[in-house]
Amino acid sequence: MFVLGIQGSPRKKGNCDYLLTSFLKACESHGAVTQVIHPDKLDIQPCKELIVCEKKGFCPIQDEMEEMGYSLVKKADIVVLASPVFFYNVPAQVKGFIDRCQMFWGRKYKLKLRDPDAYHRQGFLLGVGASGGKRLFEGVELTATYFFDAISAENVGSLTYRNVEDAGDIIGRPGLLKEIQTAAAKLVEPVLNKKTLLFVSDKDACCSQMAAAFAKEAVKGRFKVLTAGKVAAARSDATMVKVMAEKNMDLKYQTPQSLEKVLTGLGREPDHVIFFGSKEAMPGMVNVIAEEWDIIKPRDNSLEAFQTLRDAIEVRVNQFIPSLLRSLG
Ligand SMILES: Cc1cc2nc3c(=O)[nH]c(=O)nc-3n(C[C@H](O)[C@H](O)[C@H](O)COP(=O)(O)O)c2cc1C
């Protein structure tokens, strides 16, 4: 599983840095893979309110947001936002990052596209501020709530600390590390312990992605649904993304993964694997239920051919899910 940390403070070795590093270390100790991004260090321009995202579903501003923002946010199982209070809200750099996530808001609310990972993704806030007022975190918490909603993450909680001013003030607070360990374990362990359904196709660019999206909607977060390719394509098939959007499913940021990488990341055997085609690529696993589904190749590259393929996969997945629920329960 992948945890993305957004380090919102521009200060080097400050309090957010310490909090986030400790939090992510705790996640790693439970088996999560983590990555930190610093909005302050990225080339991310503020939103210019061009409204292209609300009409066409993408942001035309060319900067690092696509690769270091949008892609990573959508890859994440858990997004941890660490932010100091600056004038009762997040720092401008974080606000700029969040404002650019209006692109996801536009896809979700204007274009009515559902992210199949919405059942699964979680958002968590870490906050620090210098004063001790009761309402100190209200602005940050409200902003974080709507940020998590835009990126289709469930807002699952926060740890906030008052009377933290100078760099390092947070270090050594009684009970801090224990509190972080407990919160991280509560977030990560249920995700890691979820039973896993894996769809494998040749390149993880089309059939596996479609099947996984339908399965994610059907199991509503009860299982972790993964996809992999015997080899991974550079990107998902654009026509596949288009025909899934016709079903109001947002697969734009689903990235093909190699089977090897997925199994390494999982750190254990998946519980159920479905192969589009032969399961000969399956490494020697003993306890896995594996089945083969026919490869249904689109007859050509036309939209109609992909629509036919999509509909066939939807029917197959919906027939299969009840038996999966009975066997993995
Ligand atoms: C521009 C600026 C604005 C701030 N505004 C507030 C504020 O409104 N309320 C508050 O309690 N602390 C405020 N602070 C203090 C920081 O929240 C505090 O020093 C925090 O520990 C910084 O975290 P860091 O070390 O991760 O950067 C502000 C600091 C700066 C630089």
For ligand 1, say whether the CB of 94 is within 6 Å of any of its atoms: no
Q: Torsions phi, psi of 77, nearest 5?
A: -80, -35
Name the residue type at position 80.
Answer: V
324: helix, strand or coil: helix
List Cβ<8 Å contacts ≥24 apart for 47-50: 47/96, 47/99, 47/100, 47/102
Atom 14 of ligand 1, residue of closest alpha carbon: 86
- Cα separation, 94 vs 41, whole angstroms: 11
- Cα separation, 322 vs 329, whole angstroms: 10
Atom 21 of ligand 1, residue of closest alpha carbon: 165
**130 CA distance to ligand 1 middle (Å):** 6
Q: Mean pLDDT lowest for which of 81-95, 198-212, 276-290?
A: 276-290
Confidence class of residue 68 from pLDDT cuts 50, 70 and 90? very high
Confidence class of residue 62 from pLDDT cuts 50, 70 and 90? very high
Which residue among 86, 90, 159 is best mutated to probe the pocket of ligand 1, counting the most ligand atoms within 8 A of its Cβ?
A: 86
**281 CA distance to ligand 1 middle (Å):** 54
Average pLDDT of the residues of the chain: 95
Confidence class of residue 301 from pLDDT cuts 50, 70 and 90? confident
Q: Torsions phi, psi of 157, nearest 5?
A: 145, -175
H/E run at residue 257: none
What does the radius of gyration of the chain's CA atoms come to, in whole angstroms?
Answer: 21
Average pLDDT over every residue of 236-244: 96
Shortest-distance atom of ligand 1 to CA 82: 26
Average pLDDT over every residue of 25-38: 96
Q: Mean pLDDT lowest for which of 68-72, 82-86, 277-281?
A: 277-281
What confidence score (pLDDT) does residue 221 get?
A: 93
Shortest-distance atom of ligand 1 to CA 132: 11
What confidence score (pLDDT) does residue 283 get?
A: 67
Shortest-distance atom of ligand 1 to CA 129: 17
- Report whether pLDDT(282) > 90: no
- Name all domains of the chain by residue range, CATH numbers in brackets: 2-192 (3.40.50.360), 196-328 (3.40.50.2300)
Name the residue type at position 295.
Answer: I
Average pLDDT over every residue of 20-46: 97
